[in-house]
Amino acid sequence: MTIKTFNNEVLRETKAHLDQLTKPIGSLGRIEELAIQLAGITGQFPPIIEKPAIVVAAADHGIVEEGVSAYPPEVTALMIENFVRGGAAINVFGKQIGAEVLVVDVGVNADISSQPIIHQKIRNGTRNFLREDAMTEEEALAAIAVGKEIANDLILKGHRLLITGEMGIGNTSASSALVACLTQEPMERVVGIGTGLKEEERQKKIAVLKEAMLNRNITAGTSPLSILAKVGGLEIATLTGVILAGAAKQTPVLIDGFISTAAALVAKKLEPAIGPYLMIAHQSAELGHEAVMNYLEVEPILQLDLRLGEGTGAALAYPIVEASSRILREMATFKDLGL
Ligand SMILES: Cc1cc2ncn([C@H]3O[C@H](COP(=O)(O)O)[C@@H](O)[C@H]3O)c2cc1C
Ligand SMILES: O=C(O)c1cccnc1
């Protein structure tokens, strides 16, 4: 998989054009930075951003046996039904931006074969990583491959921006474990309340995850793929695949909250060249999101205290990203005004 470095000529052309638009230089702030990033990602001036598609990867987590979530695991399958009926927050926000919502089962621990979604189940949830590795490396690679395939297919169908979303009770635990292992941040700084744990329950979640890390025998020499297999989630691995394939195909991927950013962190560890491609939609209220964004050296677009996932923050940020591409095509220059 090759990730292109940004074309300097395209970046220069975009910056020069931004400075000719009918506005004070630099006055569109972050919108201008996003416009430059979009030109870099697509390798095009002007970049065209349209037809967003949302990939909601779903899977369960064996670690929920340890009481690390405020909700029961059955909610994962129930929410799939909700996505299909159009009743979830991501359906509402997706509809507002005219985006297709694709739900993919890569590891839901229930028979949902009758649901009209993408069926790529690798196993019925991960194993409990307090006791054994969550997945084999083969399973992790298979989940990444599903994400790559879905992304490639969507890009072929003309979607010019992909949004990462997920559903999986317990997935903040897998994400925190990944972030702690891959950034060396102390567990206390990267474990949040997820779906709404009380403080003493969060402390228990920290203790469980610390013990799990010791049991998994993760050292400085453990590879990113091995870490993903040991503690990660199937849906997280799938989103890693989406993020990698998007960059390889020069298509922007708008990354949602904490869980999606954990997938992006894995992607960057596997392919460091994707760094400049990372576009984080919002800063989640989940503790640890800020730390991982600092580590990745990316600034979120929005800050709305969301802590939902599903791709909701990315769907909300999408109009801002689209606007950043539109100014390059639709705004007049001073030359147009005869100046
Ligand atoms: C009804 C409901 C809908 C959701 N949609 C996303 N999540 C989010 O919460 C879960 C992660 O939090 P934890 O690690 O604490 O279980 C994931 O499913 C995530 O997508 C939801 C959670 C619930 C309960
Ligand atoms: O930011 C997220 O992605 C998130 C936070 C809490 C629960 N679910 C998702």
Q: Residues 83-128: pLDDT tens digits?
A: 999 999 999 999 999 999 999 999 999 999 999 999 999 999 999 9
Q: Residue 82: CB within 6 Å of ligand 1?
A: no
Task: For residue 270, name the pLDDT band (cuts at 50, 70, 90).
Answer: very high
Q: Is residue 179 part of a domain?
A: yes
Best mutation site among 104, 171, 173, 208 for ligand 1 pocket (most ligand atoms within 8 Å of CB): 171
| 92 to 35, 129, 195, 198, 318: CA distances (angstroms) | 27, 34, 20, 29, 14
Q: Would the pTM of this model clear 0.90, i.e. be above it?
A: yes
| Domain limits for position 99 | 52-320
Distance between CA 27 and CA 36 in Å, rounded?
A: 14
Distance between CA 246 and CA 324 in Å, rounded?
A: 19
In degrees to the nearest 10, what's the CA dihedral of 90, 168, 309, 152?
-70
CB-CB contact of 84 with 116 (8 Å)? yes
> Which atom, in ligand 2's list, is nearest to the CA of 289?
1
pLDDT, tens digit (0-9, with 9 covering 90-100), for 227-238: 999 999 999 999
Cα dihedral across residues 95, 43, 298, 34: positive or negative: negative
Contacts of 320 (CB under 8 A, 6+ apart): 31, 34, 301, 302
Q: Is residue 13 part of a domain?
A: no
Q: Is residue 101 part of a domain?
A: yes
Task: For residue 158, name the pLDDT band (cuts at 50, 70, 90).
Answer: very high
The Å distance, Cα 79 to ligand 1 centre, comes to 9
Mean pLDDT in residue range 49-68: 98
- For ligand 1, atom 9: residue with the closest CA: 195
Q: Is residue 35 part of a domain?
A: no
Distance between CA 26 and CA 18 in Å, rounded?
A: 8
- For ligand 1, atom 10: residue with the closest CA: 169
Looking at residue 31, its pLDDT comes to 98
Q: Is residue 268 part of a domain?
A: yes
Mean pLDDT in residue range 125-151: 98
Q: How many residues does the chain have?
A: 339
CB-CB contact of 167 with 79 (8 Å)? yes
Q: Is residue 219 part of a domain?
A: yes
Looking at residue 339, its pLDDT comes to 85
Q: Residue 286: CB within 6 Å of ligand 2?
A: yes
Residue 1 has pLDDT above 90, yes or no: no
* Ligand closest to CA 258: 2
Neighbours of 113 (CB within 10 A): 9
| 270 to 182, 196, 238, 294: CA distances (angstroms) | 11, 31, 14, 18
Q: Residue 308: CB within 6 Å of ligand 2?
A: yes
The Å distance, Cα 170 to ligand 2 centre, comes to 10
The structural domain count of the chain equals: 1
Q: Tell me which residue of 233, 229, 251 sits closest to 242, measured CA to CA.
A: 251
Distance between CA 278 and CA 68 in Å, rounded?
A: 29
- Average pLDDT over all residues of the chain: 98
Residue 159 has pLDDT above 90, yes or no: yes
Residue 179 has pLDDT above 90, yes or no: yes
Mean pLDDT in residue range 176-201: 98
Q: Is residue 306 part of a domain?
A: yes
- pLDDT over 90 for what percent of the chain? 99
Task: Indicate which residues carry an active-site annotation.
Answer: 310
Termini Cα distance of the chain: 47
Mean pLDDT in residue range 33-38: 99
Task: For residue 288, name the pLDDT band (cuts at 50, 70, 90).
Answer: very high
**Rounded (5°) CA angle 23-42-8:** 70
CB-CB contact of 167 with 76 (8 Å)? yes
Residue 39 has pLDDT above 90, yes or no: yes
Mean pLDDT in residue range 130-136: 98
CATH code for the domain in which residue 104 is found: 3.40.50.10210
Residue 220 has pLDDT above 90, yes or no: no
Looking at residue 328, its pLDDT comes to 98
Q: Residue 261: CB within 6 Å of ligand 2?
A: no
Task: For residue 279, name the pLDDT band (cuts at 50, 70, 90).
Answer: very high
Looking at residue 225, its pLDDT comes to 98
Q: Is residue 173 part of a domain?
A: yes
